[in-house]
């Protein structure tokens, strides 16, 4: 199915193999790369890349707890990238974490 390559790469979303239903082009890594009509699964490369950057800087355990806190305490259902980025900033414990989270979302063009 994947000829030895990953279907999705969180570190480089454009490097994964996207199923034909998502379109033939590479998955977007930043908001600027989105195109009208992009399927929802194709758009996930953007928050995936932000999560990878946060996890690389803060560690997987802190990334997991930060995201759980953001999802359960700082976010309403049905909101988009901006609201989730803000929720992860709100879930950050200190200036270092807030700076790391802000930089990750900035790199993917959300903040």
Contact predicate 76/107, CB 8 Å: no
Question: pTM score, two decimals?
Answer: 0.83
Contact predicate 108/49, CB 8 Å: yes
- What is the pLDDT, as a whole number, of residue 103? 98
Cα distance between the two ends of the chain: 36
Decide if 90 is inside a domain.
yes
- What is the pLDDT, as a whole number, of residue 38? 78
Decide if 82 is inside a domain.
yes
What is the CATH number for 69? 1.10.390.10
- What is the pLDDT, as a whole number, of residue 82? 93
Decide if 7 is inside a domain.
no
List pLDDT tens digits, range 1-40: 456 766 778 888 877 666 555 555 677 889 998 888 877 7
Decide if 30 is inside a domain.
yes
Contact predicate 23/39, CB 8 Å: yes
Decide if 50 is inside a domain.
yes
Count of domains forming the chain: 1
- What is the pLDDT, as a whole number, of residue 17? 66
Q: By residue range, what is the domain housing residue 58?
A: 13-107
List pLDDT tens digits, range 74-92: 988 778 899 999 999 999 9
């Amino acid at each position: 199915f994947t000829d030895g390559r990953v279907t999705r790469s969180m570190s480089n979303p454009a490097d994964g193999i996207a199923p034909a239903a998502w379109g033939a082009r590479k998955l977007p890594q930043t908001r600027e790369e989105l195109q009208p009509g992009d399927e929802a699964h194709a758009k996930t490369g953007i928050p995936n890349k932000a999560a990878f950057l946060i996890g690389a800087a803060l560690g997987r355990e802190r990334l997991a707890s930060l995201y759980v806190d953001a999802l359960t305490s700082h976010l309403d259902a049905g909101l988009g990238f901006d609201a989730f980025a803000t929720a992860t900033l709100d879930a950050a414990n200190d200036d270092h974490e807030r700076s790391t989270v802000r930089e990750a979302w900035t790199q993917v063009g959300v903040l």
